[in-house]
Amino acid sequence: MRANIFLIALILIGAATFYGLQDLVSAAQFGAFENPSPSLFSRMETIWVFLMLLLPATLIGLFAIRWAPLLGAGAYVVGFLSHYLYYYGRWNVPPDPLSSMHVTLKDCAAVLSLGAFGALAAFCVAYLKRRLTIGSSDRGSRLR
C-alpha cells in the first residue's frame, strides 16, 4: 500500500512539474510575440522547453525504483491533459462528435506521442541511474 502511494505521488509530482513548466513556456512565448526587444526570460524559451520535456522524466527516473517508464508516461499524459483541459477545455459544453472528430484524433496522437516520449525519457534516466551508481559498478571489470 505504501509503495502505491509513493508511485501515485511520483506521477503527481511529475505532472505538476510538467504543468508548471508548460505555463512557463507559454509565458515566455507570449512575452516574445511581436516584440522587437524581448526580455531575457522570453529569449530563453528554448531552455524552458527543454526543461519542460526533460525535468519531469529526470525526477521520476531518479526516484522510481521500478516502473519508471510507466510512471513517466503517466506523468506526462496527466500533466498535458490537465493543462489542456484547464486552458482550452469547455467543462460544461459537450462536444459535437462529428465536427470535432479530426481534432480528437489529432489530440489523441499528441497525447500518445507525449506519453511515449515521457516513457522513453524516464527509462533512459532510470537506466543511467542504475548503470552509474556505485552499487552496479563495484562488481569488478568485465574484461577479466
In a domain, 104, yes or no: yes
Residue 15 in any domain: the answer is yes
pLDDT of the residue at 102: 59
d(CA 5, CA 109): 29
- Whether 67 is in a domain gets the answer yes
Number of domains in the chain: 1
Tell me, yes or no, whether 101 lies in a domain. Answer: yes
Report the pLDDT value the prediction gives residue 118, as an integer from 0 to 100.
94
Cell of 69: 517508464
Q: What is the pLDDT of residue 140?
A: 54
72 belongs to a structural domain: yes
* Ordered mean pLDDT values, 10 residues apiece, the chain (144 residues): 84 93 88 77 88 93 89 93 78 58 74 94 93 64 52
In the Cβ-directed half-sphere of 88, how many Cα atoms lie within 13 Å?
Answer: 7
Question: What cell was used for 53?
Answer: 520535456
- The three cell numbers locating residue 26: 507559454
Domain limits for position 76: 2-137
